[in-house]
A and B are shown apart, each in its own frame.
Chain A
Amino acid sequence: MIVPYSQVLILAGTLFLLGLFCTVARRNLIMMLLGVEIMLNAAMVALIGGALRWQTMEGHALVLFIFAVAAAEVSIGLALIVCLHRGKASMDPGAYNALG
């Protein structure tokens, strides 16, 4: 007996809120990417809890795919940040407001 599923959802929701706040409020490209990671992590917590709640492994499979998607997202995102940094040497997303 661990805890009711609603408490797991509250934990995941609070974690998601922290990630959302980090993505919206910080003006730093790397911190925004970290916020996205925190949100993915919160989704994984909810999925694993749900897999335990309904005694099925579908949630575990989905979490494995989230790992792969997060790895791909971070590699592309950081490559883009490095590419942008070569041009303007700024971490502020507001500095990049022109196409091309």
Chain B
Amino acid sequence: MTLHAILFYLLAGLILGTTALAVTRRNLVHAVVYLVLSFFGTAMLFYLFGAPLLAALEVIIYAGAIMVLFLFIIMMLRVDRSPEPLFPLRQGLPALGVVLTYLSVGGLMLRGGAPDEGALATAVAEPQAFGLFLFQRHWLAVEIVSLLLLVALVGALHVSRRAGSEEKEEEEGAA
């Protein structure tokens, strides 16, 4: 077992452990913080797999921006710890069905057997080469994605403003 393999198993254990803890937390803030740890582990896994730019972006965008947005919303809405059970029975049967289907399909795929291939060789995608590749081969997709982000920004603004203006109208109607 090489050093890289040991690192992979350590990171896999970290990612799966912290994600499982996050899924089973009752306190939403704890769940988000455990998920940040999981995303840090994923970033290190990306670095191990030779994607340093994407590892940095994972920390900046996923662990940084998205999870902080979640924390912000949780604290803004003051979501209380719900007294109801963590996994209600009403959801138990569908969840069990989905999990069993998933596991059986996965088991069949494993039994089908991948051809015995060797371990992955290490390689690094330099950020410069990756950027050139991206803007030479996928420039249209980059433009579309930028448009998508703009639409999401406008949509989020619209959704939150409409709710605000409705409240104002109600207040004016009451007055």
Q: Is the CB of A86 within 8 A of B163?
A: yes
B23→A74 contact, CB < 8 A: no
Q: How far is the CB of B46 from chain A (nearest CB, A)?
A: 6
Q: How far is the CB of A64 from chain B (nearest CB, A)?
A: 7
Q: How far is the CA of A69 from the CA of B141 in the complex (A)?
A: 12
* A61 touching B134 in the complex, CB below 8 Å, given contacts A20-B102, A24-B95, A38-B35: yes
Residues 39-64 of A, flagged 1 when their CB comes within 8 A of B and 0 if not, give: 00100110011011101010011011
Q: Which residues of B contact A65 (CB under 8 A)?
A: 141, 145
Within 8 A of B (CB), among A40-99: 41, 44-45, 48-49, 51-53, 55, 57, 60-61, 63-65, 67-76, 78-83, 85-86, 91-92
Return the CB mask of B2-15 against A: 1 if under 8 Å, else 0.
Answer: 10110011001001
Cβ-defined contact, A48 with B46, below 8 A: yes
- Which residues of chain B are within 8 angstroms of A85 by Cβ–Cβ distance? 77
Hey, which chain B residues are within 8 Å of A11, CB to CB?
A: 12, 15-16
Evaluate contact between A78 and B39: CB separation under 8 angstroms.
no
Knowing A11-B15, A18-B20, say if A61 contacts B120 (CB, 8 Å): no
Are A71 and B66 touching (Cβ within 8 A)? yes
Asked if B37 is an interface residue, CB under 8 A from chain A, the answer is: no
Would you call B120 and A8 a contact (CB within 8 A)? yes
For this complex, into which size category does the number of interface residues on chain A fall? 35 or more
| Contact A60:B125 (CB < 8 A) given known A4-B120, A86-B167 | yes
- Report the nearest A residue to B35, measured CB to CB: A34
A75 to B49, Cβ gap below 8 A? no
Nearest CB to that of B48 among chain A residues?
A: A2
Q: Which residues of B contact A25 (CB under 8 A)?
A: 87, 91-92, 95
- Measured CB to CB, the closest approach of chain B to A54, in angstroms, equals 10
Per the bound structure, the CA–CA distance linking A71 and B146 in Å amounts to 11
Residues of chain A contacted by B57 (CB below 8 angstroms): 64, 67
Q: Is there contact, CB below 8 Å, between B94 and A24?
A: yes
Of B5, B69, B123, the contact of A52 (CB 8 Å cutoff): B123
Residues of chain A touching chain B, judged by Cβ–Cβ distance below 8 Å, are 1-8, 10-11, 13-15, 17-22, 24-28, 30-31, 33-35, 37-38, 41, 44-45, 48-49, 51-53, 55, 57, 60-61, 63-65, 67-76, 78-83, 85-86, 91-92
Interface pairs (18), CB distance under 8 Å:
A2-B49, A2-B121, A2-B122, A5-B114, A5-B120, A19-B19, A34-B31, A37-B62, A38-B35, A38-B38, A44-B58, A49-B49, A57-B129, A60-B130, A63-B51, A64-B57, A67-B57, A75-B153
